Copies of this chain bind each other. A is one copy, B any other.
Amino acid sequence: MPELRKDPVIGRWVIIATERKLRPSDYSEMCQTTSEEEGRFCPFCPGNESKTPPEIFAIRENGSQPNTPGWLVRVVPNKYPALRIEGDLNKKGVGIFDKMNGIGAHEVIIETPDHKQQMQDFTQTQLERVIYTYQLRSLDLKNDKRFKYNMIFKNYGKEAGASLYHSHTQLIATPVTPKRVKEELKGTQWYYEYKERCIFCDIIEDEIERGERIVAMNRDFIALTPYASRFPFELWLLPLRHSPDFDSISDGERISLAEILGLVLKKLINGLCNPSFNFIFHTAPNRFLHPGYWQTIDKDYHWHIEIMPRLTRPGGFEWGTGFYINPTPPEEAAQFLRDLSVQ
């Protein structure tokens, strides 16, 4: 019998489709390995700094000059930005419709100078540098009053929408709080008003007690497959300490995050035949500039990362309903990943 499960935050239903069940080993057979297209020019490689817009930030430990080789992590504006940094919003109506200028920031975090290394191959130190860069860029963009939300996300592999192979993350600052983010905020607020507790803190406690959906845990973070997983092997990384903002993590938490993120990516990539994936940071909006609007958010929202392997393709049903059909129960996915040993 298929099972319908409800995500307690968003209220989204998911069908755990036991009739069309896929076990972890089935995914290796339908494997669409992510690999490099050889011989293509790479604008993210050292030596090609002039092929990107001038850098916004870089970690350089050898005293090298901006926009020259020697960097360890480098941040540049997207050459083909979805949103542009210069200008005003200029909101207006067009007949029955509404529009505004596409103002925002669209940055690319080039995670390594090494063209061949992907995030799952990074040393602990390199992963800490990358996360530190996310944190600094997020804090910096919060100073621009036009932006309401900073979205950090990674597209790995073609199925996940990546167009360049060289390992990178994107950061988009938007002039409106995105719809999906608002839904999540509304869900956490609703729960808080009823229970006076953070729903994510409650989920963490419930999951630790059950254990069956835990993939990994360290002193500051837990990695689990959520109860109402939309996708096979969907993973959430949650900080054990309640905090609404990713960019408020401490030095110690950054080390723990690098540890657990590296570990779960290795497990996904090795265990499932190098699948495409997206990860998305879910963090509170830039409310410091809009006080009053977000009354209880410090208490009710809990930042986290959602990792979505792209092993199945959503069809018309998913698009039309917002209902997802997931052929792999999250308990089996968790067990498989938990038991998998990686170096």
Contact = CB atoms under 8 A, between A and B. Distances in A.
Given A4-B102, A96-B202, A98-B5, A316 B155 contact: yes
Interface in A76-131: 80-84, 87, 94-102
A1 interface: yes
Contacts of A322: 178-180, 183
Query: Does more than half of chain A's interface fall in helix, strand or loop, or is it mixed?
Result: mixed
Number of copies: 2
Interface string A21-46: 00000000000000000000000000
Given A101-B1, A278-B315, A80 B19 contact: yes
Interface string A296-327: 00000000001010000111111111110100
Contacts of A315: 153, 155, 160-162, 278
Contacts of A100: 3-4
A97 B228 contact: yes
A280 interface: yes
Contact of A17 (B6, B19, B102, B153): B102
A5 B176 CA distance: 12
A184 to B, nearest CB: 10
Nearest to A226: B97
Say which size band chain A's interface belongs to: 35 or more
Interface string A210-235: 10000000000000000110000000
- Interface hub of A10, A87, A308, A317 (most chain B Cβ within 10 A): A317
Interface stretch (A136-144, A167-175, A250-258, A333-341): A167-175
A321 B179 contact: yes
A315 to B, nearest CB: 3
